[in-house]
Amino acid sequence: MWRPKGLIFKAINRVSFLQIMACLFEAAGAGKPALRSLEKAIEIDPDKADLHLQASRLYLKLGQIDQAALHCKKAASDLGPGSFLYWLERASNGGIKSNRWDDIEIFDPLLDNTYIPEAPAGDKISEFNNSGLLLLETGRYREALTCFEQARILGGNDPAVLFNTGLALSKLDRHQEALELYTEAQSLGFSNAELLNNKGYSLFHLERYEEALSCYEVARQFLPNDLGLLSNMASCYHVLGRVEEAVVCYRSAVKSCPEDATLHNNLGICLENLDKIPEALECYRQAVHLSPKNNTFLLNYGHCLLSLGHLDEVYEVVEKILVEEPHNHQAWGLRGELMAEQGKMREAAECYGRALGLAG
């Protein structure tokens, strides 16, 4: 016999049991098992606020301020990342371990004119780490990874080495492994804006968009004018369907860097999704002006022109693409739409055939 009340009661009991287990693990200093129990409880009852608050506190103790922020927001939906940082600073239960970034001689390996400090004589760990940084800078990611892994084998479980290893892995699209190392570095007290940005990047590529966004939101509190963070946040908002928030980010980014064609293009996509077609057209026009040979921008511009009925301009855009790239299937598809709009159905059919690779 179907007894929904009994099943609900069992589920509530299981949530309570898991929460009690989490408390016991936490009291014993076993943070990770405590989190595993809490996350199982959250899977059963994702709307229970005190579960998220408890998870937030545990993540904070483990140095993962991005996850702490995410669960804190879930516990109180009106709590934004700014107020989370205020709460973070006021935390009196151990909180995040002190940030060791200032104590570590490490630089972003992708910046120009990077300075790699000379390792002390006989310090093999630093030698491998520094060699890895130089290889990262020149795009030799597999060799860089080999150096970082050797540093770790020699006992280099320094958070900076973990961070660098994670960066090399993410450059090789091994994002799950990179994420594990970023998390381990955080547990050692290494949790700055750069790590949060890179962790967000890996989470985004793992399609864990809400967690990625939490990383970017917290990182932006420390680097409010960073163009890369703004763009990354906008991408997350867009994928999550929060298009108006994505527009706000892209507008801020465009204001900071008006010569970046990709930002104008992405802002245009968001505005088009909001049915703000004339405004989107201006963004695409600017993107094409800044990068006139980018066929992706030209196609977006062409489709927007078509939706506004600017048929002559669409034809010019399509011809420009096909002169440079005669087998561009998307351009043939756009040309087919143009022909159909003009009532030239035979020509439209031929274009669609080429778009599908059936002719020419």
Residues 75 and 111 in one domain: no
Highest mean pLDDT among 45-59, 60-74, 339-353: 339-353
Residue 204 falls within a domain, yes or no?
no
Collapsed DSSP state (helix, strand, coil) of residue 227: helix
For the entire predicted model, the pTM comes to: 0.68
Is the Cβ–Cβ distance between 42 and 11 less than 8 Å?
no
Residues 283 and 298 in one domain: no
Of 65, 90, 115, the residue that ends a domain is: 90
Residue 4 falls within a domain, yes or no?
no
Close Cβ partners of 275 (under 8 Å, ≥ 6 residues apart): none
More confident residue, 111 or 128: 128
88 pLDDT tier (thresholds 50, 70, 90): very low
Residues 74 and 50 in one domain: yes
- The total domain count for the chain is 4
Residue 2 falls within a domain, yes or no?
no
C-alpha 300: how far from chain center: 23
Buried b (16+ CB within 10 A) or exposed e, 282-303: ebbbbbbebbeebbebbbbbbb
Averaged pLDDT of the chain: 79
Of 141, 168, 191, the residue that ends a domain is: 191
33 pLDDT tier (thresholds 50, 70, 90): confident
Residue 299 falls within a domain, yes or no?
yes
Residues 70 and 132 in one domain: no
Of 40, 69, 90, the residue that ends a domain is: 90
Is the Cβ–Cβ distance between 82 and 75 less than 8 Å?
no
Q: Which tokens belong to 297?
A: 């921008």
What DSSP state is assigned to residue 119?
A: P
Residue 56 falls within a domain, yes or no?
yes
Residue 206 falls within a domain, yes or no?
no
Share of the chain above pLDDT 90, in %: 46
Mean pLDDT, to the nearest integer, of 126-138? 89
pLDDT computed for residue 84 by the predictor: 46
Residue 203 falls within a domain, yes or no?
no
Nearest of 286, 247, 252, 287 to residue 267 by alpha carbon:
247
Residues 307 and 274 in one domain: no
2 has pLDDT over 70: no
105 has pLDDT over 70: no
Q: What is the tens place of the pLDDT at every residue in 302-313?
A: 999 999 999 999
Share of the chain above pLDDT 70, in %: 74
pLDDT computed for residue 66 by the predictor: 72
More confident residue, 62 or 157: 157
Highest mean pLDDT among 27-31, 192-196, 203-207: 203-207
More confident residue, 354 or 170: 170
Sequence-ordered alpha helix ranges (H) in the chain: 4-27, 31-44, 49-61, 65-75, 81-90, 124-137, 141-153, 159-171, 175-187, 193-205, 209-222, 227-239, 243-256, 261-273, 277-290, 295-307, 311-324, 329-341, 345-355
Residues 116 and 187 in one domain: yes
Mean pLDDT, to the nearest integer, of 137-144? 92
Domain that holds residue 141: 103-191
Nearest of 348, 298, 287 to residue 325 by alpha carbon:
298
**Residue 309's domain is classified under what CATH number?**
1.25.40.10
Residues 17 and 83 in one domain: yes
Residues 281 and 300 in one domain: no
Residue 219 falls within a domain, yes or no?
no
Q: What is the tens place of the pLDDT at every residue in 303-340?
A: 999 999 999 999 999 999 999 999 999 999 999 999 99
